[in-house]
Amino acid sequence: MLDFENFQIQIAQSPLLSAYANYIPYAVIISEMVIAILLSVPKFRLIGLYASFGIMSAFTVYIYLILNFSDFIPCSCGGILEKMGWTEHLIFNIGSVILAGFAILIQKKEQREKNRDEKTLLKRGFLLMVMGAISSILVIYLFYSSEYIIKKENNFTRRFIPHAIRNPQKIDLGVNSYYFAGQHGDTIFLGNRTAPLLIGQVNPGFDKLLTDTLHIDNASLPFREVKLQVQYPHYNLSDGYTPVIFEGILPNLTASLAMYRKAYFSKAIMVRPHLYIFRAQSSKTRETVMGSLSTRNNNAVKLNDSFLEKQIDGIFDTDGNFIMDSFNQNIIYTYFYRNEYRIMDSTLRLTGKGRTIDTVSHAKLDIVTLRDGSVKLKSPPFKVNQNQAAYKNLLYNESNLRGQHESVKMWQNSSIIDVYHYPTATYQYSFYINREGQDKMRSLLVTSKHLYILSGNQLIRYQRTR
């Protein structure tokens, strides 16, 4: 009661009751105050003891569920028992329940002995069993219904996992122009925006950055934005504005021309050697479309103009980031300005979609059309989702929005990662990544054992615990 806001935040981050964080803190405080009043009045003391027995039974079942059925075990239970572990707290609660039951049974014992009222004792024992059963069923119901709400019908209440990542290791890259180009196990490949032919490599030992220079067989083309991608041992250099794709196989550092002026694109991902999924602007509608290109099949191009869902203009409102889950070659497209992601396979077929847990279902954009027909943003857009990574059916999404009952200070000084099981469109959990000084995280990458981020001049590796 003295720190109600913190209590509400702890309930919101509970592995069992997150979805009811708006109501349970008030219900608990009011119940405890009413029980205290009942216990202080002799006439109503027996009712107060029954209520104490019921609420302590509920807390005991809650702790048992945390220890045996929750996705994770929180750091502490708060309050005056904060120094206890959860097992000790369970034992303490069981003892409290036994004491409350015993107090009920011996209440007015002398009067019962005089009246030899054995029925009263049996009645009270029966009521204790009923109270215990009702309390247990209520907590179990709240647990399962909260699980469903959090994972399927989330009201923007995050479930934060303590220590989801740990043991950060850092490498100073010297400059802030590096980006993730790919990975092979825990060997990380980096590209550089200002030195587009540079390829960087960080080995699993994570001790230093090794660099080398790639070569292309036609350096006279009008390049604008060259991007490196590595699917070891294959790699490519692409520029969607030229447009051109060079392909090579490591350790050979020379890449050969594989596509030139067949398809313009704003971004392309190599799904497998010689096959690319790209995003482009339709020459007919000027709206954003998705496409595929094969550098083996005479540069064959296919387009899908229905994968992205238009809300306003089909350009800004469909803007987003798309990544590939290397585990199954699924492409996940996450909109920047609304709470939705979509999944496609390598044939451009929509295979599923889901929503992020925030409530922004419609893009909030102020768009103006100029006299020449071009479309511009009149004011800065309201960006919902920032960066993404995917690994083994899990989507890691950096959210820009603060959820219910979350610390403002933590939100201001951290990046929030929400994790989704995208094949079933279910939210799993969230965790914080602390910012390095004033530098925000600009990208992330996930492997079987680690999570990597780029922030400022640093490459940071965290050990994943789940």
Position with higher pLDDT, 78 vs 309: 309
- Stated as kind and residue range, the H or E segment containing 231 is strand 227-231
Q: What global pTM score does this model have?
A: 0.77
pLDDT digits (tens, 9 = 90+) for 451-465: 999 999 999 999 999
pLDDT digits (tens, 9 = 90+) for 232-256: 999 999 999 999 999 999 999 999 9
Q: Which residues pair with 178 in a beta bridge?
A: 192
* Whether residue 157 has pLDDT greater than 50: yes
Angle, vertex CA 375, rays to CA 372 and CA 380, nearest 5? 140
What pLDDT does 350 receive? Answer: 97
What CA–CA distance (Å, rounded) separates 309 from 281? 14
What type of residue sits at position 227? K
Position with higher pLDDT, 214 vs 76: 214
Which CATH architecture is the domain 165-464 placed in? 6 Propeller (2.120)
Q: What is the 3-state secondary structure (H, E, C) of 43-95?
A: HHHHHHHHHHHHHHHHHHHHHHHHHHHCCCCCCCCCHHHCCCCHHHHHHHHHH
Average pLDDT over residues 314-338: 95
What pLDDT does 42 receive? Answer: 85
pLDDT category of residue 170 using cuts at 50, 70 and 90: very high
How many other CB atoms are there within 10 angstroms of residue 176's CB atom? 14
What CA–CA distance (Å, rounded) separates 316 from 288? 9
Q: Which of 2-16, 371-385, 394-408, 441-455 has the lowest mean pLDDT?
A: 2-16
What pLDDT does 150 receive? Answer: 62
pLDDT category of residue 147 using cuts at 50, 70 and 90: low
Position with higher pLDDT, 19 vs 216: 216
* Whether residue 348 has pLDDT greater than 90: yes
Q: What is the 3-state secondary structure (H, E, C) of 9-51?
A: HHHHCCCCCHHHCCCHHHHHHHHHHHHHHHHHCHHHHHHHHHH
* Whether residue 151 has pLDDT greater than 90: no
Exposure class string for 1-23: b at 16+ Cβ within 10 A, else e: eeeeeebbbbbbbbbbbbbbbee
Distance from CA of residue 104 to its chain's centroid?
47
Q: Which residues pair with 288 in a beta bridge?
A: 281
Average pLDDT over residues 361-383: 80
Q: Which of 31-45, 100-114, 408-422 has the lowest mean pLDDT?
A: 100-114
Residue with token string 């708060």 = 78
What pLDDT does 356 receive? Answer: 95
pLDDT category of residue 13 using cuts at 50, 70 and 90: low
Burial class (CB in 10 A: 0-12, 13-18, 19+), 122: exposed
Task: Provide the percentage of residues in the chain whose pLDDT is more than 70.
Answer: 88
What pLDDT does 111 receive? Answer: 47
Edge-first strand listing for the sheet containing 458-464: 165-172, 458-464, 450-455, 441-446
- Maximum pairwise Cα distance, the chain: 108
Average pLDDT over residues 37-41: 90
pLDDT digits (tens, 9 = 90+) for 423-459: 999 999 999 999 877 889 999 999 999 999 999 999 9
Q: Which of 96-105, 209-218, 362-371 has the lowest mean pLDDT?
A: 362-371
Helices 86-106 and 45-69 sit at what angle, rounded to 10 degrees?
150
* Omega within 30 of 0 (cis) for the link into 233: yes
What pLDDT does 376 receive? Answer: 80
CA torsion angle for 105, 108, 112, 118 (degrees, to 10)?
A: -20
CA distances from 49 to 33, 91, 134 (A): 13, 20, 16
* Whether residue 2 has pLDDT greater than 80: no
Edge-first strand listing for the sheet containing 198-202: 178-184, 187-192, 198-202, 210-213
Task: Provide the percentage of residues in the chain whose pLDDT is more than 90.
Answer: 53
* Whether residue 204 has pLDDT greater than 50: yes
* Whether residue 293 has pLDDT greater than 90: yes
What pLDDT does 10 receive? Answer: 65
The domains of the chain are located at: 4-152, 165-464
Position with higher pLDDT, 451 vs 103: 451
Pick the closest to residue 162 from 62, 63, 72 (CA basis).
72
* Whether residue 84 has pLDDT greater than 80: no
Provide CB contacts within 8 A for 181, sequence distance 6+. 189, 190, 191, 199, 200, 228, 229, 230, 235
pLDDT digits (tens, 9 = 90+) for 14-26: 666 666 767 777 8
Pick the closest to residue 131 from 121, 142, 123 (CA basis).
123
Phi, psi (rounded to 5 degrees) for 273:
-50, 125
Average pLDDT, the chain: 87
Average pLDDT over residues 127-132: 88
